[in-house]
Structure 1
Amino acid sequence: MYNEFFEAQSSLIMKKNSFFTSFLVAGISCLSAPFSQAELVDGLIEYWAFDGDYAAGLDASNDGVLVKSGTGDASFVLGKFGSAVDLENSIGNQAVINVGDPAQFAFEAGSMSISAWYTTESLYTDWGTLVSQAEGGNWRIARHGTSGTNFKWSISGPASVAANIDQQDGSWHHVVVTHPSPEDGGEVTMYIDGVAVRTAANWILGNGSGFQMQIGGNAQASNRGWDGNIDDVALWDRALTEEEVALIWNGGEGASIESLTQGPATPLQIVDVAHTDTGNNILVDLAFTSREGRSYSVFSTNDLSLPLTSWTELNDDVPAAVGESTTVFRVNFNTQGLPLDEHQFFVVAENP
């Protein structure tokens, strides 16, 4: 009945918007979406996932080293993604993580962004430092004040962005600070849980003054260690965009820096198409590469002149097959109400 519809056609070579053609098999053109990772790779200096160790994600010379004093300690606990480091700090008892070469993370007179996930426990002093490179003209993110509701990005003196937010709740929270250089222009922006809560004029970043960058502490000031959990800390040498911050926040579910920048071993693509003609219906099985734990959306059209927003959404939550590198999605032309035209085009896209 539909044999002519499924005769093999020549390959279709084209690019439409940001979606790339995989191939055309049995009269069905199959398009697949690339992973949207290129932007966040740009300018990424380093990240620390804390998945059971203090290793840096890009350069082993930036691996963290735990430094303890008194009864201060650290352990690995369930994190926002995989594991996280739980720092136990109090007056005279400190546990902080030194990372990398001091000069590498100073960003002197340049641009930078920092992202981190965290939970709060006690605020045992006026300052609880999440990430920093010392005092003065150097940068730091810290809780400030006895109530713990003042979350601050500061350089020196009045050069600070502070947000009054009560986060003493044990839940995971996310902070991003984007700091463009004065030359690049724009404002310093602090995002808390995906929302831009404060902006201010930008200032010139210092040279680090030779102090070590610390996660969970301040190398230039004692007894300012973070008391709580920290996960997935990352630094860029540019100001992230609002859209990029939203990718990391991901509606509160979060997306790890590794998942956003490393991508899969093979790109997302439709690798096989099979069809069955039951006489009353046409069934098409789309097989595509997938990553376990992710979900996918499938779209279709018979008119490539239409923008993707006008394509028919067949499913917006196709789970990746467990234990497999490919997933198969079945399209039922009858129940989906798709027209049986000479060509039918499909797009598979990984959900954020």
Structure 2
Amino acid sequence: MIDKSWQCLIAKGEGNGWRVHRRGGDNPPEMTFTGGNGDVDRHNVAMTVGEDPETWHHVAGVTDSSTQEQILYLDGEEVARKSGATLADRGNPMRIGDNPDAANRNWQGKVDDVAIWGRALAPFEVADIWNGGDGKSIEEMLGLAIPFEFTNIIYNAAEDGFRLEWNSKPNKTYALFFSESLEEFDADIDDSITSQGETTVYPGEDEWLPNPLEGAPKLFFRIEENQ
């Protein structure tokens, strides 16, 4: 809600620190970015925080030390740029929804998927995060969002055997368990299955795992990544 003139989204401080905030006195209300040299210039792109609480926006501030420029992106597009940026660590704690150097500038709204990168993002990377408004999670960008689950379980009635497939990670090993219920998985089939890359097939493409509970009315499998 716009019930105060200054609202800080995320900050490390004033001066040559950095902050993303709604600047007081702007008409229409604007988001701005300080990345080592004061606020970027006005961009005349209004973001009326609170007018529609279900509308999400993506805000990104980039300081490029190689060019000494600070750049503000709104919803995947560059809207302002300023030169002469010299970013410094002011020793303050980073705060989300507040500014450690300026009291009573709390953010009035929702915040999600905050990320701080150790390098300057390229324009196409910022656009990729915005993803046309659908959004892309930080986990997905870092390759951490692949669900760890069985992707295929085939039963061969003639062989009374199974072939299992799951998402895996390179250079990992896995343990496979089975159970007649979903409550206990104490019985293990193999506790040292070597990953085959991003997908692992067990026991193999042309092999079948003998039914560990022959004649059982139901059977459950569980896969665990070894630490």
Q: Same fold (TM over 0.5)?
A: yes
Contact 1:175/1:191, CA 8 A, preserved across alignment: yes
Q: Secondary structure at the match of 1:164?
A: coil
After TM superposition, give the deviation of residue 224 of structure 1 in Å.
Answer: 0.3
Q: Does 1:178 align with 2:56?
A: no
- 2:29 pairs, out of 138, 141, 149, with 149
Residue 244 of structure 1 corresponds to 125
Q: Secondary structure at the match of 1:254?
A: coil
Q: Do the aligned partners of residues 156 and 148 (structure 1) sit closer, same or farther apart at CA in structure 2, a change above 3 Å counting? A: farther
- Structure 1: state its 5+ residue gaps: 1-121, 273-287, 291-324, 326-352
Distance in 1, matches of 2:153 and 2:44, equals 51
Write the deviation string for residues 185-240 of structure 1: whole angstroms up to 9, x where unpaired: 263221100111112214111222x3211000001111101000100000011101
What's the Cα RMSD here?
A: 3.2
After TM superposition, give the deviation of residue 127 of structure 1 in Å.
Answer: 1.1
Contact 1:180/1:202, CA 8 A, preserved across alignment: no
Distance in 2, matches of 1:207 and 1:229, equals 26
Q: Secondary structure at the match of 2:107?
A: coil
Matching of residues 76-91 of structure 1 within 5 Å: none
Distance in 2, matches of 1:243 and 1:156, equals 23
- Structure 2: state its 5+ residue gaps: 155-164, 168-198, 200-227
Matching of residues 1-352 of structure 1 within 5 Å: 122-146=1-25, 147=27, 149-155=29-35, 158=38, 160-168=40-48, 169-170=51-52, 171-181=55-65, 184-185=66-67, 187-208=69-90, 210-261=91-142, 262-264=144-146
Q: Report the number of matched residues.
A: 153
Amino acid corresponding to residue 165 of structure 1 in structure 2: V
Higher RCO (CA-CA < 8 Å; seq separation 6+):
1
Q: Do the aligned partners of residues 126 and 237 (structure 1) sit closer, same or farther apart at CA in structure 2, a change above 3 Å counting? A: same
Q: Secondary structure at the match of 1:206?
A: coil
Contact 2:69/2:81, CA 8 A, preserved across alignment: yes
Q: Secondary structure at the match of 1:245?
A: helix
Write the deviation string for residues 282-340 of structure 1: whole angstroms up to 9, x where unpaired: xxxxxx978xxxxxxxxxxxxxxxxxxxxxxxxxxxxxxxxxx9xxxxxxxxxxxxxxx
After TM superposition, give the deviation of residue 124 of structure 1 in Å.
Answer: 2.6
Amino acid corresponding to residue 16 of structure 2 in structure 1: G
Distance in 1, matches of 2:34 and 2:56, equals 22
Distance in 2, matches of 1:162 and 1:258, equals 32
Q: Secondary structure at the match of 1:188?
A: strand
Distance in 1, matches of 2:135 and 2:147, equals 21
Q: Do the aligned partners of residues 222 and 252 (structure 1) sit closer, same or farther apart at CA in structure 2, a change above 3 Å counting? A: same
Write the deviation string for residues 43-63 of structure 1: whole angstroms up to 9, x where unpaired: xxxxxxxxxxxxxxxxxxxxx
Contact 2:40/2:71, CA 8 A, preserved across alignment: no
After TM superposition, give the deviation of residue 135 of structure 1 in Å.
Answer: 1.1
Amino acid corresponding to residue 197 of structure 1 in structure 2: V
Q: Do the aligned partners of residues 248 and 156 (structure 1) sit closer, same or farther apart at CA in structure 2, a change above 3 Å counting? A: closer
Amino acid corresponding to residue 174 of structure 1 in structure 2: H
Amino acid corresponding to residue 122 of structure 2 in structure 1: T
After TM superposition, give the deviation of residue 250 of structure 1 in Å.
Answer: 0.8
What TM-score, normalized by structure 1, do the two folds share? 0.39
Greater radius of gyration (CA): 2
Write the deviation string for residues 130-155 of structure 1: whole angstroms up to 9, x where unpaired: 00011121111100124462211125
Contact 2:35/2:70, CA 8 A, preserved across alignment: no
**Percent identical across equivalent pairs?**
33
Q: Counting strand residues as a fraction of each chain, which structure ranks higher?
A: 1
Write the deviation string for residues 99-123 of structure 1: whole angstroms up to 9, x where unpaired: xxxxxxxxxxxxxxxxxxxxxxx22
Distance in 2, matches of 1:253 and 1:140, equals 25
Distance in 2, matches of 1:158 and 1:227, equals 23
Distance in 2, matches of 1:247 and 1:191, equals 12
Write the deviation string for residues 22-56 of structure 1: whole angstroms up to 9, x where unpaired: xxxxxxxxxxxxxxxxxxxxxxxxxxxxxxxxxxx
Q: Counting helix residues as a fraction of each chain, which structure ranks higher?
A: 1
What TM-score, normalized by structure 2, do the two folds share? 0.58
Residue 311 of structure 1 corresponds to none
Contact 2:32/2:39, CA 8 A, preserved across alignment: no
